[in-house]
Structure 1
């Protein structure tokens, strides 16, 4: 089978004749992968910001078709169109009982070898599942956005905005933009995006998805205040993973406001000044996805979201055939693509 293999830090290889993953493992299903999107965490692993020794899988934002449903837990059947997301957790472990269902299991326990292969095993038991059925109205490339949409929904829920709130988002990558789309549906009055990358600013501006401010402009903060209120915005979403941007968030949020940290920091805080947390009486919360967002009928809320937002989500996607997968990674790292999706079929 074909796969995109991360052999070592900074070394990707396209393999066309890798052995099939073989017989089904207990508690799993086998997915024939049609498309897999590149996540920032995949890039971090490539760059050595995360340890290869700690990861058993590569690629977790994928969609495809069930070719072996195992024991059919949770209604999963052969031939069903599915996409990856954390759909079900046990509800009994310490993490679940303390509201941290997103820590129930590691993805190391859920995926092997991962979505950058033509086939992958995915854990699907009555107590834990990392897949959801998708409707025929969503193409596989867009469906590969289900897992990041799940994460963005967690960010939006942690923001807990009230209708009419002004929101500032630092970082106009996939996570920031999907969060913006969701917050619009939740009643945000104004959403402003701040970004340093000129190509990304131009791209986002051309799509017409969000108002933007160039962080390279010395007057960026004044622009934000003119667009929201002199005191600052109600909520800041920090989605860059750059420690200095958290300082910007402290400057931009109003007294009594909220900052949602929605990114992974790979370096120490250094000279970060924390006094604004007390002086402004700020609420600072984290948002780690994916999270099991199930409706009362047991179906996935993020699937409903991508079905509703699919036209805007498609604007974020650049599709690459498998033979061009290395270019897809290059374009994600350079910012030429907002969301690169590798198509296997």
Structure 2
């Protein structure tokens, strides 16, 4: 089977591998149709994460189940599915304290991951990382289910009230999809903020939301003018740049809320924490994915993705697996808001 293999930081190879992983009672086999490139995949690609400690590569995928182990959780052979955390064990400390997103590492869920033509996925009574998808949802759009889950979790942490003004720093997939979901949840105005002129132009062409260019000297003044100088009710920080947290604190109103959805790899120079107290800011983290299910146990994220399907398709750029190097280059440069590789 074909595999997009990361052999060393910055080095991808398309290999034909014969080492088919053994199905177990706790796994199902998925023939992968499409897999999106996540920021964590880019971190592995650039060497910012340790490749030797990862058992998988690629986790934002869709496809068809070809074999099942014990068939738990309703997953059956022939089902079309997408990756998404549905439930944890329910017994560990994290599950018992409302943190099911920490139940297990993806290292235990995927082998070898979504950048291979087929992968094993853990699916049992204690952990499930697959959602069935409806016939009306195509495989390419379905590959965004996992990041949409993360974005939905961010939106829930925002705890908005109807009419709230929201500012989203960082318009990669997580930031942009969070903004889209917050609009569906009743936000009065959602403003995007980014410093990449390429990305700003792409988003303006989609018409999804108003965007501020933070590379301009007067960017803060522009936001103040858009919010009657009071600041925004909710800020989502999704850039990955630690310094932007300081900017988030500047833009939030007194009593505002900041949701941090960034994976930081550095420190903030000359950080001024006083506004946290002076403005009585609430700052919360949001680490997805998390089990976001309806009362019948099925995914709530599927419904969100279906409602936003046409808008989501505006931000996806599709690459054949043979063009994986270009896909990673475009994801890294911002030429693709959401790069998806298809087999």
TM-score (norm 1): 0.98
Match of 1:3 in 2: 3
Distance 1:297 1:204 in 2: 36
Q: Which segments of 5 or more consecutive residues in structure 2 lack a partner in the other structure? A: none
Matches within 5 A, 1:191-340: 191-340=190-339
Count of aligned positions:
343
Contact 1:234–1:257 (8 Å) recurs in 2: yes
Distance 2:115 2:17 in 1: 12
- Secondary structure, in 3 states, of the residue corresponding to 1:114? coil
Contact 2:243–2:269 (8 Å) recurs in 1: no
* Cα offset, 1:298, TM superposition: 0.7
* Cα offset, 1:146, TM superposition: 0.2
Distance 1:22 1:219 in 2: 55
Distance 1:247 1:275 in 2: 11
Distance 1:167 1:325 in 2: 35
* Cα offset, 1:54, TM superposition: 2.1
Contact 2:65–2:79 (8 Å) recurs in 1: yes
Match of 1:144 in 2: 143
Distance 1:120 1:126 in 2: 19
Contact 2:169–2:192 (8 Å) recurs in 1: yes
Distance 1:315 1:184 in 2: 16
Q: Deviations over 1:287-340 (max 9, x none)?
A: 000000011001000011111111100011000011111100000011100000
TM-score (norm 2): 0.99
Greater Cα shift, 49-58 or 101-110:
49-58
Q: CA RMSD in A?
A: 0.9
* Cα offset, 1:212, TM superposition: 0.5
Distance 2:228 2:28 in 1: 51
* Cα offset, 1:20, TM superposition: 4.2
Distance 1:155 1:231 in 2: 23
Contact 2:25–2:70 (8 Å) recurs in 1: no
Q: Deviations over 1:4-43 (max 9, x none)?
A: 111111111111x111424302300000000000001100
Match of 2:13 in 1: 13
Contact 1:190–1:228 (8 Å) recurs in 2: no
- Taking structure 1 as reference, are residues 289 and 249 closer, same or farther at Cα in structure 2, changes over 3 Å only? same
Matches within 5 A, 1:132-211: 132-211=131-210
Distance 2:274 2:47 in 1: 33
Match of 2:96 in 1: 97
Q: Deviations over 1:68-118 (max 9, x none)?
A: 011110111100000000011111110011111000000000001000000
Q: Which segments of 5 or more consecutive residues in structure 1 lack a partner in the other structure? A: none
Q: Deviations over 1:256-307 (max 9, x none)?
A: 1010000100112332211111111100000000000011001000011111
Contact 1:20–1:119 (8 Å) recurs in 2: no
Distance 2:22 2:112 in 1: 13
